[in-house]
Amino acid sequence: MSEKTYKHQRELAKLIEDFSKQDDVHPTPIPSLFVIRESIITEPISRVNEPSFCIILQGEKEVLLGEERFLYGPGHYIVASVDLPVTGQVCKASIDSPYLALKLEFTPSQILEVLNETDYQIGQGKNTKRAMFVSKVGPSLLDAVLRLARLLENPKHISILAPLYKKEIIYWILQGPHGEALEQMALEGSNASRIREVIDHIMNNFEKPFRIEELAEIANMSLSSLHRHFKEVTAMSPIQFQKQLRLQEARRLLLAESTDVAEVAFRVGYESQSQFSREYSRMFGFPPRVDLNRMRENDVYITKSNRL
């Protein structure tokens, strides 16, 4: 690591610490930018990860997507190019050296805008890529992130400069080794973008049963192509994807709104409470009521606004 890179990382870490005096995910005056601080190792939290870029400056985190694990720490970033149900855990943090991260959310239209304004060489869109990847932060990307974060100290410049720096960050991600995974989600008609349409449909209707033929029609794919491309993008099948969404929402409802397991099971789309309890236990390690009591004792709080 060069001395310049080290200095930039430490300055960015200090900016995050200054803006996050306590543990939490903190929104900032810059739209779609969040700073994150954790001074303890957290328990695994299952949430939907929105399309986003996240860079760690201190500590380590593990994210589980299906059966695939992503471990990343200082000098690395993780990108999710579509909504993905994941489980994340801060696995290295302390009071003296807290986990510090910065997260920037984006949309496919913002990616497409960058593609249209540059001479970036667009791929053919045939090879579907995993919608989540970890990579090392290059000097140009780190410099753009630092300039964006510095605006927190000079908010009068945010309205003009933040959109420009955000475009630059997206540009450098596209230039990186996994840029095609981001590109394909924004290109209309690519296999990845068609899978994104299926994901959007499941996300908006997760509590309802669906037929695989219906999803294949949305993607304009054969059944076998749908299964193959969906798993390549998300690391799971459409049914597994829906199940994770249902169980994540059930856990949130149990903790935030209702302790009636049967009612919650019905609200997220289960007809059988026993099946719900079995699948809940497999995913979270405890039956619903035991898990609820355990989370309350540990002061775990899950809301729709939680981000990983």
Q: Under a CB-based contact definition with an 8 Å cutoff, are residues 108 and 193 in contact?
A: yes
28-40 pLDDT per residue, tens? 999 999 999 999 9
256-306 pLDDT per residue, tens? 876 789 999 999 999 999 999 999 999 999 999 999 888 887 766 554 444
Same fold, 3-185 and 187-239: no
| pTM exceeds cut of 0.85 | yes
Check pLDDT > 60 for residue 125: no
Question: Which residue ranges make up each domain of the chain?
Answer: 3-185, 187-239, 249-297
Half-sphere exposure of 177 (CA within 13 A, CB side): 9
Burial class (CB in 10 A: 0-12, 13-18, 19+), 62: middle
CATH tag, 3-185: 2.60.120.10
Check pLDDT > 70 for residue 171: yes
Give the CATH fold of the 249-297 domain. Answer: Arc Repressor Mutant, subunit A (1.10.10)
Q: Which CATH architecture has domain 187-239?
A: Orthogonal Bundle (1.10)
